[in-house]
Structure 1
Amino acid sequence: MQCMSCGASILADDKFCEECGTPLTVSKPSTVVNGCEKCGAEIAAIDAEGYCSQCGFRQEPRQRNWLEVIINSQLAGVSDRGLKHHRNEDFLALQQLHGTQSNILIVCDGVSSSQKPDLAAQAAAESTCLALVAAGERGENPDSAIKSAFITALASVCNITYISGINLEPPSTTIVAAVVQEGIATIGWLGDSRAYWISAHSCQQLTQDNSWLTEVVAAGEMTEIEARKSRKAHAITRWLGADAVEDAVPSIVNFTIPSSGYLILCSDGLWNYTLDASHLANLVQRSPNTDAIAISRTLVEFARQSGGHDNITVAVLCV
Structure 2
Amino acid sequence: MDADQHTHAGLCRTCGEPVHARDRFCEQCGRPDPTAPDRTCADCGTGAIGTDGYCDQCGFRRPSGREHVEAELGGFVAAVSDIGLKRKRNEDAFTLAPLPSGACAVVCDGVATAPGSAEASRLAAEAAASVLAGRVSVGMDPEAATRAAAERAAEVVASLIKDPKDLDGAPACTFASAVVDGAGVTVGWVGDSRVYWLSSAASFLLTRDDSWAAQMIERGQMSAADAWADRRAHLLTAWLGADAGIVKPQVAAFRPAGPGMVLICSDGLWNDLPEAADLAAVALKGEDGEARPEVSGGRTVRAARRLLRAALDAGGHDNVTAVVIAWPPPGSPPPGTSREPGR
Looking at structure 2, the residues matched to 205 and 255 of structure 1 have their Cα atoms a distance apart, in angstroms, of 11
Looking at structure 1, the residues matched to 172 and 54 of structure 2 have their Cα atoms a distance apart, in angstroms, of 23
8 A contact 1:115–1:170 mirrored in 2:
yes
When structure 1 is superposed on structure 2, of 275-284 and 120-129 the one drifting more is: 275-284
Partner of 1:216: 216
Shift of 1:36: 10
- Deviant stretches of 4+, over 2 Å: 32-37, 161-169, 285-290
Partner of 1:268: 267
State how 1:90-105 maps to structure 2 within 5 Å.
Answer: 90-97=92-99, 100-105=100-105
Partner of 1:86: 88
Gaps of 5+ in 2: 1-49, 56-60, 288-296, 328-343
Shift of 1:250: 0.6
8 A contact 1:194–1:267 mirrored in 2:
yes
Gaps of 5+ in 1: 1-31, 38-58
Shift of 1:301: 0.9
Q: 1:36 to 1:120 in 2, by over 3 A?
A: farther
8 A contact 1:269–1:313 mirrored in 2:
yes
8 A contact 2:268–2:319 mirrored in 1:
yes
What TM-score results when the alignment is normalised by the length of structure 2? 0.73
**Residue identity matched to 1:276:** E
2:244 match: secondary structure: helix
1:76-132 C-alpha deviation (Å, 9 max, x unpaired): 1000000000000000011112xx223101111011111111011001100001111
Looking at structure 1, the residues matched to 62 and 142 of structure 2 have their Cα atoms a distance apart, in angstroms, of 34
Partner of 2:326: 318
Q: 1:167 to 1:180 in 2, by over 3 A?
A: closer
Partner of residue 79 from structure 2, selected from 77, 95, 107? 77
8 A contact 1:60–1:87 mirrored in 2:
no
1:238 match: secondary structure: coil
8 A contact 1:115–1:162 mirrored in 2:
no
Partner of 1:196: 196
Partner of 2:34: none
8 A contact 2:94–2:122 mirrored in 1:
yes
Shift of 1:143: 1.0
Looking at structure 1, the residues matched to 285 and 257 of structure 2 have their Cα atoms a distance apart, in angstroms, of 22
State how 1:155-234 maps to structure 2 within 5 Å.
Answer: 155-163=155-163, 168-234=168-234
What TM-score results when the alignment is normalised by the length of structure 1? 0.78
Partner of residue 66 from structure 1, selected from 49, 63, 68? 68
Q: 1:166 to 1:131 in 2, by over 3 A?
A: closer
8 A contact 1:270–1:303 mirrored in 2:
yes
**Residue identity matched to 1:195:** V
Shift of 1:312: 0.1
**Residue identity matched to 1:34:** D
8 A contact 1:60–1:86 mirrored in 2:
no
Q: Is structure 2 residue 139 aligned with structure 1 residue 126?
A: no
